[in-house]
Chain A
Amino acid sequence: MIEVINLSKHYGDKKAVNNISFKAEDGEVLGFLGPNGAGKSTTMNILTGYISCTAGKALIDGIDILEDPVKAKKNIGYLPEIPPLYLDMTVKEYLYFIYDLKKCKLPKISHLQDICSLVKIDHVYDRLIKNLSKGYKQRVGLAQALVGNPKVLILDEPTVGLDPKQIIEIRTLIRKLGKNHTVILSSHILSEVQAVCDRIVVINEGRVVANDTEENLSHKLTGDNKFICKIDGKKDSVMRLIQSIDGVDKVYCDAEHKNDICDYRIESFEGKEIRYELFNKMAQNGFTILELRSAEMNLEDIFLKLTMGEAIPALEESNNYEEAEN
């Protein structure tokens, strides 16, 4: 549905977007994640034809946005970072204007009514936009993007400035819309992307640093062979016992709590199952396993790891320290 091929945008010497490529399939909700200034909005502005790219291509439903902008734009509903609202119009007048502007063919009154009840703005339909609260303005912006039922929805930070209840509502709505539309959603809020998106493209300093589902991302970055284990028992004996297990590669002590309780990080060799033996050995020696979990990274960790480069200094240092101790 959307294909971006080697897209670049330079502002003078600054490379806002640097040779990025990704695809969004039909009916997919794609999350566009990156810190502020990573190039998310620039990419979205290029996709919607608001600005042009320096190099590369953006295809919407197979149509190049630069070659046939009018046809390509018919497939797009765009909610920019700041909703493009005419404050001197009522919601009704504004949506009528957008309907005419997009040369929509659907039955006007019923179509607009459907949209209004979907984004829950029917009760402010006759009010001036300038008198609406930020949350409602955002919804009117979303309604505007939905007019004409475009195949692709591009939403730039759609929940910014909303209260928690509204955020949940908008997220639910986006999930719902994702069933019939291809949605690209940008955000720097990790939980949002986690809650809404099928796939995540992480972008940093104008480059794509990751492009996968959340599960795969955390898999790739941590693998199946790392566990966090909380054990009650004398540290040295526990460490020795764990190391004696067949298949254990490395073991670190991450944190020491009261009464000999420690957190251990265990890395096993690829494909080796160590958990049964770990359990049995600890039980035989009278040590209690209080917690055992796979050390998958959550989105926060992934994001930090990807956007700050491979080495997270603080983490890395503590690892070395622990390793030396062992």
Chain B
Amino acid sequence: MGAIFRREVRSYFTSPIGYIFIAAFFAYAGLMFSSDSLNSGYAKMDSMFSSLLTILIVLIPILTMRTISEEKRTRTDQCLLTAPVSLGGIVTGKFLAAFLVYTAAVSITAVMAVVVSIYGEPDWNVIVGNIVALLLLGGAFIAIGIFCSSFTESQVVAAVISFIVLIAVSFLSTIGGLLPALDEGHWYTKVIEGIRTALEKISFGERYIEFTYGIFNFSNVIFFISAVAAFLFLTVRVLEKRRWS
């Protein structure tokens, strides 16, 4: 696992991907920060944090698209899968490497918080909560991206699939909102209500936005951690399945 982690981190920074990812994140976060906090003289950073959700949907697929697809295409997976390492170790190593690059990008928000504290009095609890939430959300997105990358040999296809999946999981509650609101009395009103609530509960966006309101709900933390574990587990199963087919 350690060897794979180190190789992955190294390859992020010997190829342009790591730099592009971090630079794009810095640029977007900087733009949002200056318009929402600096220019409007506002000591809170919640609107910046909530707008970062959108850029993650675009950027995370770029970070994760090549993780497994590229190994398959160049046949280097033969080297990993025939080495004395478990599949879990391989997938975890790749996840941690992507997560490290992501953390490097997210670290800029801490710098912004320091800038705010020079001119105003930010609520540190909320800001720390927001950074934790951003890391959790990103972790879950990375796990989904790696999972999508395990289906194909093409980086582009992997990126597109993860992009679509990330949009879907982020805006599940919006999809729920599109369901027709019906009068009481119809027998299926309850069913539609049920579906709407379920979609809201599993909507990544909904759970993330709650953090930016300053609500540190522990069940949301558990939700994101479970999502990471679930998608990494599914990735292992996809690799395992390919071996058996």
Which A residues have a C-beta under 8 Å from some C-beta of B?
Answer: 11, 45, 48-52, 69-71, 73-74, 76, 78, 80, 82, 84-89, 93, 97-98, 100-103, 144
B27 lies within 8 A of chain A by Cβ: no
Rounded to whole angstroms, the CA-CA distance of A98 and B84 in the bound complex is 11
Other A-B pairs beyond A45-B78, A97-B6, 10, CB < 8 Å: A11-B245, A51-B243, A69-B84, A73-B82, A73-B84, A76-B82, A84-B76, A86-B7, A97-B3, A97-B7
Contacts between chains A and B (CB distance < 8 A), count:
69
> Are B11 and A50 touching (Cβ within 8 A)?
no
Known pairs A51-B243, A97-B3, A101-B3; A84 contacts B77 (CB<8 A): yes
> A70 to B84, Cβ gap below 8 A?
yes
Residue in B closest to A74 when the chains form the complex, CB atoms = B84
Whether A144 and B79, one on each chain, are in contact in the complex, defined by CB atoms closer than 8 angstroms, is yes
In the complex, the answer to whether A102 meets B84 with C-beta atoms within 8 Å is: yes
Whether B86 lies near A70 (C-beta < 8 A) is yes
Cβ B243 vs Cβ A52 within 8 A: yes
Q: A86-B7, A100-B6, A101-B3 are in contact. Are A80 and B85 (CB under 8 A)?
A: no
CA A137 to CA B186, docked complex, whole Å: 70
Answer yes or no: B80 CB below 8 A from chain A CBs.
Answer: yes
Cα distance A69–B15 in the bound complex, in angstroms: 33
Q: Do residues A82 and B83 form an inter-chain contact, with CB atoms below 8 A? A: no
Interface residue? B74 (CB, 8 A): yes
Contact of A86 among B11, B78, B243 (CB under 8 A): B11
Interchain nearest-CB distance for A84 vs B (Å): 4
In the bound assembly, the distance between CA atoms of A264 and B37 in angstroms comes to: 101
Q: How far is the CA of A197 from the CA of B158 in the complex (A)?
A: 44
Nearest chain B CB to A270 CB, angstrom units? 48
Rounded to whole Å, the gap between the CB of B132 and the closest CB of chain A is: 32
The chain A residue sitting closest to B7, CB to CB, is: A97
Query: Contact between A50 and B3 (Cβ–Cβ < 8 Å)?
Result: no
Residue B244 is within 8 A (CB to CB) of chain A in the complex: yes
**Pairs of residues from A and B, 9 with the lowest C-beta to C-beta distance, nearest first:** A100-B3, A84-B79, A73-B84, A48-B82, A101-B3, A84-B76, A74-B84, A80-B78, A84-B78
Nearest chain B CB to A160's CB is how many angstroms away?
Answer: 14
B120: Cβ under 8 A from any A Cβ: no
| Distance between Cα atoms of A86 and B15 in the complex (Å) | 12
Contact residues in B for A87 (Cβ distance below 8 Å): 74
Measured CA separation A50–B239 after assembly (Å): 10
- Residue of A whose beta carbon sits closest to that of B2: A100
* B40 beta carbon closer than 8 Å to chain A: no
Report yes or no: A49 in contact with B81, Cβ–Cβ below 8 A: yes
B15 A50 Cβ-Cβ under 8 A: no
Contacts of A74 in B (CB 8 A): 84
Measured CA separation A290–B45 after assembly (Å): 101
Q: Are the C-beta atoms of B76 and A71 separated by less than 8 Å?
A: no
Q: Which residues of A contact B10 (CB under 8 A)?
A: 93
Residue of B nearest to A154 (CB): B82
Interface string of B1-23 (1 = CB under 8 A from A): 01110110011001100000000
Contact code string B124-165 (vs A, CB < 8 Å = 1, else 0)? 000000000000000000000000000000000000000000
Choose one: A69, A71, A98; the contact of B79 (CB below 8 Å): A98
When C-beta atoms are compared, the residue in chain A nearest to B80 turns out to be: A101
Which of B2, B14, B85, B86 is A88 in contact with, Cβ under 8 Å?
B14
